[in-house]
A and B are shown apart, each in its own frame.
Chain A
Amino acid sequence: AQKVTQAQTEISVVEKEDVTLDCVYETRDTTYYLFWYKQPPSGELVFLIRRNSFDEQNEISGRYSWNFQKSTSSFNFTITASQVVDSAVYFCALRNSGNTPLVFGKGTRLSVIA
């Protein structure tokens, strides 16, 4: 069985603060992919990153960074120097090998206050 847990339902930060969104996953497969998506108020899910289970290198893209740790089954997402435009719901997702669906967490609603 596969499962994604985003324990933080809502987070509020003041602009320019750093914020980390947690994601913990469960899977029995050794081959899988992890994703983060952003859903702004407009509704569209915007793809942010994909990471496969064999690549534990952390990744940085501008103000965004991701920390993948297989030992703790976590794939956390950090936004540095947050901005109001970062306000959105962020989803972590997992897909196992084989013909299995993409499984999403319940999402974390991030509010960045000016």
Chain B
Amino acid sequence: ETGVTQTPRHLVMGMTNKKSLKCEQHLGHNAMYWYKQSAKKPLELMFVYSLEERVENNSVPSRFSPECPNSSHLFLHLHTLQPEDSALYLCASSQDAELTDTQYFGPGTRLTVL
């Protein structure tokens, strides 16, 4: 079974829509992450959760709202997005949020905002 899964794989939404991205990890990890990958830019860390508590928020606009109901699931709620938010959104997990822990990534959700 794939370690980290993400749904949907592709999403097209208008600027007034509300949608959610889902991530699930089957690795028994305690930390989960959201990254944004835009064209021509390095991966940007958005949020980090460790044991369901948010430990990092890298100045992400409030139109992105994460939720971590348990250590296996992570959501990214989207509302009133802008076209520049179109990107690949990657979820990752690691054993803990420590320096020594390797992050394992899901396949991503390709988001297009019209």
Contact: A33 with B106, CB < 8 Å?
Answer: no
Contact partners of B92 in chain A: CB under 8 A: 45
Give the A-B contact count at a CB cut-off of 8 A: 50
Q: In chain A between 1 and 58, which residues have their CB closer than 8 angstroms to a CB of chain B?
A: 4, 31-33, 35, 37, 42-47, 50, 52
Contact: B99 with A50, CB < 8 Å?
Answer: no
Contact: A101 with B102, CB < 8 Å?
Answer: no
Residue of B nearest to A9 (CB): B40
A99 to B99, CA, bound (A): 7
Chain B 37-65 near chain A by CB (<8 Å), digits 1 or 0:
00011110100100000011010000000
Contact: A50 with B102, CB < 8 Å?
Answer: yes
A84 beta carbon closer than 8 Å to chain B: no
- Give the shortest distance, in Å, between B97 (CB) and chain A (any CB): 7
Contact: A99 with B88, CB < 8 Å?
Answer: no
Q: In chain A between 54 and 99, which residues have their CB closer than 8 angstroms to a CB of chain B?
A: 91, 95-99
Contact: A42 with B107, CB < 8 Å?
Answer: yes
Q: Which 4 A-B pairs have CB atoms at the shortest separation, nearest pair first?
A: A45-B105, A44-B107, A43-B108, A104-B43
Jot down 26 A-B pairs with beta carbons below 8 A, ordered by A: A4-B42, A35-B102, A43-B90, A43-B107, A43-B110, A44-B108, A45-B90, A45-B92, A45-B105, A46-B105, A47-B103, A47-B105, A52-B100, A91-B43, A98-B99, A99-B55, A99-B56, A99-B97, A101-B45, A101-B58, A102-B45, A103-B42, A104-B42, A104-B43, A106-B40, A107-B42
Q: Which residues of B are in contact with A by a Cβ distance under 8 Å? A: 40-43, 45, 48, 55-56, 58, 88, 90, 92, 97, 99-100, 102-108, 110
